[in-house]
Structure 1
């Protein structure tokens, strides 16, 4: 008698337990949040508009060789094309490296630059620093540079540390005066030099 009751209970549990498991699973599916595939991507409207209007390139790199054989490389953290317009690009965290045929190296850094490849010009602004392998360190707030030729020009006041001393000038230009001629670094417009002779070594 007791054995029949045990057998009936086991048989009943074999049916009840699977049904209970199915009920729990169906409850989980009913409680889960339905995902709408047509739901908008979680971007702010202003961010979407900015991405659509401003084409962005990260880590752009441009290099070329001038007619005199000088090598120029242009690197930036990123370049934006405002309003999707070609030609005028806005670069940030700019680095320019120039290796001259003579062996002199010139490095230029700036916070920003406005680059127009079609017009062969780049306007560098914001903490412009020029360093040369000959010991010159020149700072300015603006620099106009050609892209395909060796021609750097600062229309504003420049401050320079030179092998001869501290220098201040109203403008500066680094260029080759004519094809196949060596590059010249010229300071003009009110040049002031505080001469600092080198101390003789003991």
Structure 2
């Protein structure tokens, strides 16, 4: 009697299991027809188009050494290729550190930077701040620089503070005339200096 029950149970399961499997497959096919493929894309259409138009690198970092032995470290929040100008890269929130061979250090901070490797040039724009280890802090709206050597130029007005006091000028140049020589900071075009003696507060 028990053997007959076992036989009937096995026969019944042989029918039920295939039917359950068929029901599950049918459910999967029905659900797949309801799902909108475009609704599960994790990127917005505008973001995809923007990435296709301009290649983007997040958190780029670069270090190198110039022919004069100065060490340069560059970092930014993002770097994108220009959509209109060939060979130009645009960086946001730029930080540059320059360790001069003579021992001094210069840091540059800017909201944006436009790099042209072919012309060995970078234009820093938007609240550009230059800080030197010799005690100078210089603010400008635009700063142009070479990428393979020490040659910084501000074609427009600059505001500076330093060991000698506060200074305003129509333009500024920071360069090294001799290879491996000391950096020279030169202010021109209507220089106004408010001298602060070292003993004064």
Shorter-normalised TM-score: what interval? 0.7 to 0.9
Check conservation: 1:123, 1:145, Cα contact below 8 A.
Answer: yes
TM-score (norm 1): 0.80
Q: 2:170 maps to what in 1? A: 170
Structure 1 stretches of 5 or more lacking a match? none
3-state SS of paired residue (1:83): coil
1:123-166: CA deviation from partner (whole Å, max 9, x where unpaired): 00112111111111112221111111211111222222211222
Q: Displacement, 1:199?
A: 3.9
Unaligned ranges ≥5, structure 2: none
What aligned pairs does 1:34-183 form with structure 2 within 5 A after superposition? 34=32, 42=41, 43-58=43-58, 59-66=60-67, 68-83=68-83, 86-179=86-179, 181-183=181-183
* Residues paired across the two proteins, number: 193
Secondary structure of 2:76's counterpart equals strand
Q: Runs of at least 4 residues of structure 1 off by over 6 A?
A: none
Residue 198 of structure 1 aligns to a residue whose secondary structure is coil
The question of 1:12 aligning with 2:8 is answered: yes
Considering only aligned residues, what root-mean-square deviation do their CA atoms show, in Å? 2.7
- Rounded to whole Å, the distance in 1 between the matches of 2:69 and 2:20 is 78
- Give the conservation status (yes or no) of the 8 Å contact 1:114–1:122: yes
> CA–CA distance in 2 between the matches of 1:151 and 1:63?
16
Please tell me whether the aligned partners of residues 60 and 79 of structure 1 are also in contact (alpha carbons under 8 angstroms): no
- Helix, strand or coil: the match of 2:156? coil
Q: For structure 1, which segment, 179-188 or 128-137, has the greater mean C-alpha deviation from structure 2 after superposition?
A: 179-188
TM-score, length of structure 2 as denominator length? 0.81
